[in-house]
Amino acid sequence: MAKFSRTYLFLKRAFDIVMSSVALILLFPILLITAIFIFLYDGHSVIFFQNRVGLAGKLFRLYKFRSMVVNAEKLGGYSTLDNDSRITPVGRIIRRSSIDELPQLINVLRGEMSVVGPRPDVLKQKSEYSEDEWLKRLSVKPGITGLAQATLRSSASPEQRKRLDLNYVEQQSMWLDIKIILLTFRQIVLRGGN
């Protein structure tokens, strides 16, 4: 299992608190408009909750703007493709721009996630890892963005995503986190979030 210095962990947590607080304040108008559009589209809840696996295997409730029809999980698996029929018209727009992920800033403030880290898995995904890989994966907090999102976005295969997530665990640093954030913004702007 990966070990990190107390200084690094303190700096990463301080960075997460500052970054998520500032982002929530600056992005509040976008959050509000998105919530209104989702509600106006079909009148159901605007936030989607799902149990995900966090640091040391602890389950937490991940927050996202709802981009799929109500009860979408009962209609299909946990992963989605760009052409998934369960995605709503509003959902297509907010997924393309990654706006659907913004409520996870609350998960970051609560200490369940970090701004940068491997994306949080659902428990079913444990079967994709060896025991050692799974323990390594759970040695860091999951993130809103990570190496797979910053480099491959939705084109990453499950195997590529797993490899990049495990690489992040081994190589993580504040400099790598900053690089991933910059690459993520570049992906969203240049490729429309896909």
At residue 119, the pLDDT reads 92
Contact assessment for residue 110 and residue 142, using Cβ atoms and an 8 Å cutoff: no
Query: Is the confidence at residue 74, as pLDDT, over 70?
Result: no
Please list the residues that pair with 48 across neighbouring strands.
64
Please tell me the distance from the alpha carbon of residue 19 to that of residue 85, in angstroms, as a whole number. Answer: 34
Query: Is the confidence at residue 63, as pLDDT, over 50?
Result: yes
At residue 68, the pLDDT reads 86
| For the chain, percent of residues with pLDDT exceeding 70 | 90
pLDDT tens-place string over residues 22-49: 999 999 999 999 999 999 988 788 999 9
Establish how many alpha carbons lie within 13 A of residue 72's alpha carbon, considering only the half-sphere containing its beta carbon: 18
pLDDT tens-place string over residues 77-94: 655 666 678 888 999 999
Q: Return mean pLDDT, the chain.
A: 88
Averaged pLDDT for residues 118-133:
93
Closest CA relative to residue 164, chosen from 177, 142, 149: 149
Please list the residues that pair with 87 across neighbouring strands.
68
Please list the residues that pair with 61 across neighbouring strands.
51
At residue 193, the pLDDT reads 45
Q: Would you list the domain boundaries of the chain?
A: 6-191
At residue 194, the pLDDT reads 46
Angle at 105 (CA atoms; ends 104, 109), nearest 5 degrees: 115
At residue 82, the pLDDT reads 61
Averaged pLDDT for residues 118-136:
93
Closest CA relative to residue 49, chosen from 37, 65, 28: 65
CA distances from 27 to 21, 69, 151, 161 (A): 10, 25, 24, 28
| For the chain, percent of residues with pLDDT exceeding 90 | 65
Please tell me the distance from the alpha carbon of residue 93 to that of residue 113, in angstroms, as a whole number. Answer: 24
At residue 176, the pLDDT reads 94
121 falls in which pLDDT band (50, 70, 90)? very high
